[in-house]
Amino acid sequence: MNVAARISFAGVLLTFGSFAIAQQDVADGQKAFESQCASCHTVKPGVNGFGPSLAGVVGRPAGHVPGFNYSGGMASSGLIWDDATLDAFLADTSKKVPGTSMPVTIPDAHLRAVIIAYLRSVSTMTPPGAAAAPSEAAAASRPVPTGGPTQDELTRAAASTRDWLYASKDYTGQRFVKLSQINKKNAHDLRPICIIRSDHATPTQTNPLVYKGVMYVTVDTSVAAIDAATCRQRWVYKWDTKGRVLSPANRGVGIKDGILVRGTADGYLIALTMDKGQLLWSRQIASAEQSQYLSMPPLIFDDMVIYGPAGADWGAKNWVGAFKLTTGEPVWKFNLIPDDNEPGADSWKDPKSRAHGGGSLWTPLSLDAEHGVLYLPVGNPAPDFYGEVREGANLYTNSAVALDVRTGKLLWYRQFISNDVHDSDLSQVSPIFSGTVGGKPRKLMAVSGKDGLLYMLDRDTRETLYQLEITTRQNIDAKPTVAGVHRCPGLLGGMEWNGPAYDPLSRTLYVATVDWCGTFTKTADAPEFTPFAHYYGGSVTPDPREKSRGWLQAIDSTTGKVRWKKQWPTPLVAAVTATSGGVLFTGDLDNNFLVLDASNGNTLYKFNTGGSVGGGVVTYELDGKQYVATTSGVVSGFFGGSGTSAIIIFALH
């Protein structure tokens, strides 16, 4: 026998030996499975026991066997059953998946290995006569969304007392509910009826949605569905972050036709079933590599999810787009920082400056559903404080932009700050409503932002009917210098992520704002863009935190006159909700949930939630009973705050 033959023969022996060992592992694994696992699990496709069938488990997403009702922990785990994950799970199931209903521990590593070998051997087993094509099998296991809300329910959401269907209640963003069971006379009788608290002390700016008695809320990388009357958890889905995160803030979900959609901090748009929280699809639409992240609440209209990234402060070049609700496929896109030869490109004198020009979306949009007009509040340009490197008006930053919602075509825009050098994001283009101003019936829009002004805009003529200060404004036009210049508002002044409420019965706007000044500086030299770093070109040193305040004021929407005004001991960033009961629901950074008299701003009831209140506050009626729900928890790195993320639900005692 020559050397080559001996080597070849040795290879055959090695292969045969490995095969024999593998077969022995499978045999040993089958015995171990029968003694350890078979009392609950089968290996027959489509046949579940007390636990789900394990046929085809290797490579399968956790919690996705048709016909089996998983625990919330397993359904939301986001795991894929590869060898390593199975090994870790079998070693200690409760440690790997907290909340699993399968408390099993197999400390013997060899025993776990042979069980996994056996499971791998049955991964391709199919029942006799049922050899379905892979695509058919995949289709059979894919979750199918069912239910509402329908487009008609979304369009009529402003009139609903049962549901809260968009971040700001409805497409118009009025944050008004025609409910009066809780009113001025009995607000003191409110009591918390349930609390659900997470173990995450992460930014809590989410706006809860409510549909048919179920509340949907984001907490960090998770989405939760809870009973809106008892706080009992229905399901939790946890997104497994796949990329770098620039900012973890998230401001809520969108829902329609049994599908829930949210953006993730690592740039994915994801869709879940509303009934069980199962993943339908995910699509990466942004990334930290592009200086972007996703934080705004989605707006869903017809079969489209409207969404755009944030990240201007990191030097993003942002846009807004529409994606198919059922698949995530792109439908249209509009560049908020124009490309070459697009309208608005010539407002940037140096074309290179547009590559990192900013223009974030991070707050709710508004929509005139009848006429198909979508309104966007576009944020600041970048670098934030060094305007010389981006000379020009810098469209479409700090602009209210109107698009055809079905095509993304630009209808009109109105820029409120040209070449902004104070990070004065335009943050709100709602509420939108109709009213009489100056003796004429008009279609109106309340526009506000971090510059501390509220503008009343005619949506047809784009005329500013009036404007008024909604926080302290001093030295407003002073540009940053190397030495520094003091200005009000500072970085965190004016209107943040929750916009005004509008009571159509009294024609009153209720506006909560931040009063916090700061000293603006610019760098001595022009900044250079650096990936994964703030693209500021300067900085803002805030006044001492103890000097920060808030304002809450009621404004006659027809004249712009202030009906009443209250200063608050903390910045006000929580949502304000108005009702026909003559009360306002809101909260503050002293951990208080608040009920106020809408006629004068006096406090009728307050409750210490155990955490700062800086997110959504909603009210709704179920089975004849009015409820109010508030978010609670840490607000942000800038505003600080305290407490783990929580939802507290109140009703009359």
Query: pLDDT tens-digit profile of 301-315?
Result: 999 999 999 999 999
Between CA 310 and CA 313 the distance in angstroms is 8
Among 198, 233, 197, CA closest to 214: 233
> Which range, 43-52, 140-149, 631-640, has the best average confidence (pLDDT)?
631-640
Percent of the chain at pLDDT > 70 equals 91
CA 500, 501, 506, 507 torsion-angle sign: positive
Residue 99 has pLDDT above 90, yes or no: no
Residue 317: partners with Cβ closer than 8 Å, 6 or more residues away: 290, 291, 335, 337, 354, 355, 356, 357, 358, 359
CA 340, 343, 346, 352 torsion-angle sign: negative
Query: Are 595 and 605 within 8 A, CB to CB?
Result: yes
| 3-state secondary structure labels for all residues of 19-52 | HHHHHHHHHHHHHHHHHHCCCCCCCCCCCCCCCC
Residue 371: partners with Cβ closer than 8 Å, 6 or more residues away: none
The three-state secondary structure class of 73 is helix
Between CA 367 and CA 170 the distance in angstroms is 9
Structure confidence at residue 61 (pLDDT): 84
Predicted confidence band of residue 137 (pLDDT cuts 50, 70, 90)? very low
Structure confidence at residue 69 (pLDDT): 66
b/e per residue 422-458 (b: at least 16 CB within 10 A): bbbbbbbbbbbbebebeeeebbbbbbbbbbbbbbbbb
Residue 494 has pLDDT above 90, yes or no: yes
Structure confidence at residue 43 (pLDDT): 85
- According to DSSP, residue 113 is labeled H
Instruction: Give the mean pLDDT of 343-364.
Output: 98
The three-state secondary structure class of 522 is strand
Between CA 631 and CA 231 the distance in angstroms is 12
Between CA 250 and CA 180 the distance in angstroms is 31
Instruction: Give the mean pLDDT of 538-559.
Output: 97
End-to-end CA distance of the chain, in Å? 95
The model's pLDDT over 236-259, given as tens digits with 9 standing for 90+, comes to: 999 999 999 999 999 999 999 999
- CA distances 597 to 546, 583, 601, Å, are 27, 5, 5
172-237+245-652 to CATH, choices 2.140.10.10, 3.30.70.270, 3.40.640.10, 3.30.70.20? 2.140.10.10
Between CA 161 and CA 179 the distance in angstroms is 7
The three-state secondary structure class of 83 is helix
Between CA 583 and CA 577 the distance in angstroms is 9
Phi, psi at 84, each rounded to 5°: -65, -40
Between CA 492 and CA 653 the distance in angstroms is 38
Amino acid identity for residue 407 in this structure = T
- CA distances 407 to 25, 65, 249, 404, 447, Å, are 59, 39, 29, 6, 24
Predicted confidence band of residue 49 (pLDDT cuts 50, 70, 90)? confident
The model's pLDDT over 417-433, given as tens digits with 9 standing for 90+, comes to: 999 999 999 999 999 99
Residue 438: partners with Cβ closer than 8 Å, 6 or more residues away: 465
Mean pLDDT of all residues belonging to the chain: 91
Q: Where are the domains of the chain?
A: 3-141, 172-237+245-652
Radius of gyration of the chain (CA): 28
Q: pTM for the full model?
A: 0.84
* Architecture field, domain 3-141: Orthogonal Bundle (1.10)
Instruction: Give the mean pLDDT of 72-87.
Output: 79
Structure confidence at residue 226 (pLDDT): 98
Residue 130 has pLDDT above 50, yes or no: no
Which class for 105: exposed (0-12), middle (13-18), buried (19 or more C-beta within 10 A)?
exposed
CA 465, 466, 470, 475 torsion-angle sign: positive
The model's pLDDT over 3-46, given as tens digits with 9 standing for 90+, comes to: 444 334 334 333 434 555 578 888 887 888 877 787 678 888 88
Among 262, 264, 252, CA closest to 221: 264
Instruction: Give the mean pLDDT of 48-77.
Output: 77
Structure confidence at residue 592 (pLDDT): 98
Between CA 299 and CA 166 the distance in angstroms is 7
